[in-house]
Structure 1
Amino acid sequence: MQTLAPRFDYAAARHELARRIDLAREAGPDDVAGPPIRRFIGELSVVAEPFRRVLRKHPQVKAARPRTVMLLPGFATHPVRMRYMARRLEAAGHTVKRWGLGFNWGPSEDNVAVLEDRLESLAERHGGPVHLVGWSLGGLFAREIAKRRPHAVAKVVTMGSPFSYSPRANNVWRAYHFVTGHRVEEPPMEIELAGKPPCETVALWSPRDGIVHPRAASGRPGERDRAVALRCTHMGFAWDPQSISAVLRELDNS
């Protein structure tokens, strides 16, 4: 007997689309804003990055002590966007692993649980705690799993991650609302964004960031151990030489 596939509920789909559009069209707070538009436009420089890499010299850097590193991508990006950084860290002698979730479409209890299991597996397989390097939203994931599995995390490094100030102090919260279906301040799980993980936690931030407000990415004392200022765009955190150099220094200094 042939089983018929369930019929697609067009009415429910239209209702959900309308709900997400309404979320994206919400009025922003009067006292909070993302970086100025000129900074946001500056993020377009990322299109020239593949050409810059052809001319870029890669100095031979060797890690003081090889680490196991997990890279966590930003919102709506795939781990392939961090492949350049991964190659530079590997060239220095580190073991670099992807986070195992593909595109980062936002948090849920299910994907955080998968991430926790992967973290535990990596720590067991490589014989020690893992260093987490998270870009933008990936940094929020890193901070959260470090709180849940502190024994498996050696250090957390965030890059332009909006863990402080206001969750709407960025230029993509409307896109986030539409894609995830929930407000930035109402994730589908219990989380304290500004709460510092129980391991060393370093926040890389940039005054040139065109997506996340510097106050949100640098944090306040007690929300991270140190904040390190760079001079790159938000997209540049994944490939800019100074960003990669900063990550290498943090791996050596842990």
Structure 2
Amino acid sequence: MTSTLQRGTAAPDDLLYFTDPARAAIDCALLAYTAPLLATLPRGDHHPVLVLPRLNGTDTSTATLHTVLRGLGYRTYGWRLGRNIGPTSKAVHGMRARLDYLTNRYQQPVTLIGWSLGGIYARQLARRTPQAVRQVITLGSPIRLARHDQSRANHLFHRHSHQHIEPLDLPLERGAGPLPVPATSIYTPLDGIVAWRTCLDEPGPRTENIAVLASHLGIASHPAALWAVADRLAQPADRWTPFQPPSLLRMAYPAPESRSS
């Protein structure tokens, strides 16, 4: 798959890129129309959840996700590290400290949810401290980015590279194998920021890719993505099964792309 990404997968075209902010507003507006359906979201055991924001995002950017998950009873936390400008010393050490704090406080593993760059961080944390992580859920995260030109956010990321202490070597996760914990990648083929095929995880007994028809900037507020997140969180810790869309929402989930495509 890495060779496929290197050869033929470019960043989103201008139409997807320039319309992504407007489509994100529509994604958020859909919440108002689907409120009765969201009231029936799957509910789990209220375990702790740590949410990591996208590039240039803060905890405010994930406010909708926090609100929904707290409404379901989860002990949901932001990273409390300000704006995400990349793997700075503050971000790298702060995320590790935040995860340590939550595992010590609750004496159980934490689910990590990461949006875009935040998802790359989440997977790194899971590899370093798998005993502290219950599962990883990523939203529009280019976890298999192979080239800088596969992301429209490349220049924004490198604007702060002089402050980064852990450069993201490409291809990401080359030869790393599957995560040691369950992993779900929620992605969108309508992504206007990153090449969507870079979001596809390797197949495995506890990994999956879930497609939704959202924008990159709105995926963390899109009803179909929120349902998938809630469904994954509701699984018992010792029993992981692949995602099955509810019958009323089946059309909201296109068939997931395989890693061989």
User: What TM-score results when the alignment is normalised by the length of structure 1?
Assistant: 0.78
1:221 aligns to what SS in structure 2?
coil
Q: Distance in 1 between matches of 2:50 and 2:140?
A: 17
Pick closer, same or farther for the CA change 1:217–1:62 going to 2, 3 Å: closer
Change beyond 3 A, Cα 1:219–1:50: closer
Task: Give the CA deviation at 1:54.
Answer: 5.2
Contact 2:187 2:209 in 1 (8 A): yes
Largest Rg, 1 or 2: 1
Provide closer, same or farther for how the CA distance between residues 98 and 69 of structure 1 changes in structure 2, counting only shifts above 3 A.
Answer: same
Other-structure match for 2:57: 77
1:204 partnered with 2:180: no
**Among 133, 153, 173, the residue aligned to 1:153:** 133
> Is 2:123 the counterpart of 1:143?
yes
The answer to whether the 8 A contact 1:159-1:205 is kept is yes
1:43 lines up with 2:43 in the alignment? no
| Contact 1:62/1:93 (8 A) holds in 2 | no
CA contact (8 A) 1:139 1:161 kept: yes
Find the counterpart in structure 1 of residue 159 from structure 2. 178
Query: Structure 2 stretches of 5 or more lacking a match?
Result: 1-5, 238-261
Deviation of 1:127 (Å)? 2.1
TM-superposed CA distance for 1:202, in Å, is 1.2
SS of residue in 2 equivalent to 1:155? strand
How far off its partner does 1:74 sit?
A: 0.1
Q: CA deviation at 1:149?
A: 1.4
Once residues 64 and 56 of structure 1 are traced to their aligned partners in structure 2, the CA distance between those partners, rounded to angstroms, is 21
Counterpart check, 1:118 vs 2:95: no
Provide the aligned length of Structure 1 versus Structure 2: 224
Distance 2:162 2:209 in 1: 31
Q: 1:204 to 1:189 in 2, by over 3 A?
A: closer
Match of 2:202 among 216, 220, 225: 220
Instruction: Using the TM superposition, give the Cα deviation of residue 50 of structure 1 relative to its aligned residue in structure 2, in angstroms.
Output: 6.2
Q: What CA deviation, in whole Å up to 9, does each residue of 1:19-60 have, x standing for no partner?
A: xxxxxxxxxx98552012111122122345665555552532
Deviation string for 1:60-114 (max 9, x for gaps)? 2351321211110000011101011110111111110011211101013552122
Report the CA distance shift for 1:192/1:97 in structure 2 as closer, same or farther (over 3 A).
farther
Alignment of 1:233 onto 2:211: no
Q: Report the Cα distance in structure 1 between the residues aligned to 2:93 and 2:193, rounded to whole angstroms.
A: 28
CA distance in 2, matches of 1:219, 1:42: 26
Show the counterpart of 2:108.
128
Alignment match of 1:100 (pick from 50, 55, 80): 80
Alignment of 1:181-196 (within 5 A): 181=162, 187-188=166-167, 193-194=172-173, 195=176, 196=178
Write the distance in 1 (CA, Å) between the matches of 2:8 and 2:169: 26
The answer to whether 1:57 aligns with 2:38 is no
Q: Secondary structure at the match of 1:113?
A: helix
Q: CA-atom RMSD, angstroms?
A: 2.8
Letter in 2 for 1:240: H
Determine the C-alpha separation between the residues in 2 that align with 1:241 and 1:93.
18
Structure 1 counterpart of 2:69, from 67, 89, 103 = 89
- 1:132 alignment partner, SS class: strand
Give the match's secondary structure for 2:218: helix
- Whole-Å separation in 2 of the counterparts to 1:63 and 1:208: 29
Percent identity for Structure 1 against Structure 2: 27
Cα distance in 1 for partners of 2:221, 2:214 equals: 10
Residue by residue over 1:167-212, the C-alpha shift from the partner in whole angstroms, topping out at 9 and shown as x without a partner, is: 42111112211233489xx943789832343111111111011111
Tell me which of the two structures has the higher relative contact order, counting C-alpha pairs closer than 8 angstroms and 6 or more residues apart.
2
